[in-house]
Structure 1
Amino acid sequence: MTDEPLLRVNSLSKFYGSRVGCENISFDLWPGEVLAVVGESGSGKTTLLNCLSTRLMPTSGAVSYRMRDGVFRDLYRMSEAERRFLMRTDWGFVHQNPADGLRMTVSAGANVGERLMAVGDRHYGNIRATAVDWLSRVEIAEDRIDDEPRAFSGGMRQRLQIARNLVTGPRLVFMDEPTGGLDVSVQARLLDLLRGLVTDLGLAAIVVTHDLAVARLLSQRMMVMKDGHVVETGLTDRVLDDPRAPYTQLLVSSILQV
């Protein structure tokens, strides 16, 4: 176990003209740790996630990532090609809408296989066997491997997107409302599956959600955002059971009253 974080975020800010996307965010993320970023719509959590995953360039601040050789690199000083390679290999990004994270016109097996080819696997038999294994891990039957994602239900598409992201053994996964838009029963199964995979693989993850139940189930640590600022942070159970910031208290009590 390393005594260094995987990700270091220092005074990160993103402004859209005079409007605050997120401002002065700092934290470390450790290997194997799951951090939930919660808040209402417009709180800045998705802006933060997009900056961390280099999909959006921040206005100021720095994000450093510890590469597999142990060296920290400033993500925004990397070349575009280096960042793209990181996204295809060492990172995963699970979108709320699985169609944003899948190629809808190629087969389920090809969706998983593309990630393997990105890390240099060229043996068709091995790629297909690994795809079959990963589809089974996300509860998709082997006989669906040649079906296109558009023939799948929303829950199956989301599970396929998870398989596509995890097949290369990434060290860090970003998740943007991973259960949003799914039926409650489908959400529960997907959360169960995600929690198992994250634990088994020792993944570090940053999960953006407005659902406190998702945060409690998946994360060890929580960051609460409002109007682009962090208003409270701490261990997930502590924040939910003993919220200190008035806004967090409001969030928690509004959920309990439902």
Structure 2
Amino acid sequence: MTDTSPWLLRASGLSRYYGNRIGCQDVGFELWPGEVLAIVGESGSGKTTLLNCLSGRLTPTAGVVEYRMRDGTARGVFSLSEAERRFLARTDWGFVHQDARDGLRMSVSAGGNVGERLMAIGGRNYGAIRATALDWLGRVEIAEDRIDDRPDAFSGGMRQRLQIARNLVTGPRLVFMDEPTSGLDVSVQARLLDLLRGLVADLGLAAIIVTHDLAVARMISHRLMVMRAGKVVESGLTDQVLDDPQSPYAQLLVASVLQP
């Protein structure tokens, strides 16, 4: 019988160890369709390890990650075949890297970067692919006349917007983001965040975003998990956690960043 509960992604007892060192330990949560979850913590807290386990890029030492497929069935991410996981990553999922160079083909034009993902799911009509690429470049505020330019001719902010277009063009249901605004100028960060927030809302996307920036988390996420030394020390609605943190570590983190 198909499980009819509403979650889209569920983690249970998720742990990853590097020898005796903890990457993440005993993490569990459910993510709902259209929900944005931010994972925050200082460098080395385990947030990127957790993101990589959730997205199937890193095999956990223990625990389960389940994803609800479009037909309503729940599948264990690590019980999928390699081909099934690759197809999922090309269709239902997106992954936005901190460095856009890791998520783009730098030797391929902007339009080609967007079009490649369409071709990976069966697109063959060149005119239709190019038209869709043009549409998506417009959505991420890249001028149409840059469609044939390669990403190495773009600024950092433009490359990140191109990476977003490449990920969203196939209409995914879930997007993983690893520090997507890190390393960008403040004004560029604000523009990118505003764009991301609008696209996530307009498309009804679920997203998991890793960030060290609590202001970013407040702006884009509905729910927040605070990590320290591989463990989740606090979780809840974003505004509640940031305005009234309960754990000593979350209180310290919020006080050091958000309060004057």
Tell me the TM-score normalized by structure 1. Answer: 0.98
What pairs with 1:7-18 in structure 2 (closer than 5 Å)? 7-18=9-20
**Aligned pair partner of 2:84 in 75, 82, 92:** 82
For the residues of structure 2 that align with 1:80 and 1:121, how far apart are their CA atoms?
A: 22
Amino acid at match of 2:27: I
For the residues of structure 2 that align with 1:198 and 1:234, how far apart are their CA atoms?
A: 20
* TM-superposition CA deviations, 1:116-141 (whole Å, max 9, x none): 11121111000000000000000000
**Aligned pair partner of 1:102 in 101, 104, 123:** 104
Amino acid at match of 1:92: G
**Aligned pair partner of 1:143 in 142, 145, 156:** 145
Any unmatched runs of 5+ in structure 1?
none
**Aligned pair partner of 1:251 in 250, 253, 258:** 253
* TM-superposition CA deviations, 1:4-33 (whole Å, max 9, x none): 100010000000000000000000000000
The answer to whether the aligner puts 1:59 opposite 2:61 as a matched pair is yes
* TM-superposition CA deviations, 1:86-125 (whole Å, max 9, x none): 1111100000000000000000000000111112111100
Is the partner of 2:56 in helix, strand or coil?
coil
What pairs with 1:1-258 in structure 2 (closer than 5 Å)? 3-257=5-259
Q: CA deviation at 1:257?
A: 4.5
Is the partner of 1:32 in helix, strand or coil?
coil
Amino acid at match of 1:95: H
Q: CA deviation at 1:256?
A: 2.7
Is the partner of 2:58 in helix, strand or coil?
coil
For the residues of structure 1 that align with 2:258 and 2:226, how far apart are their CA atoms?
A: 17
Amino acid at match of 1:190: L
Amino acid at match of 2:224: M
2:214/2:258 contact within 8 Å kept: no
Q: CA deviation at 1:3?
A: 4.5
Amino acid at match of 1:248: A
Identical residues among aligned pairs (%): 77
Which stretches of structure 1, 4 residues or longer, exceed 2 Å deviation after superposition? none
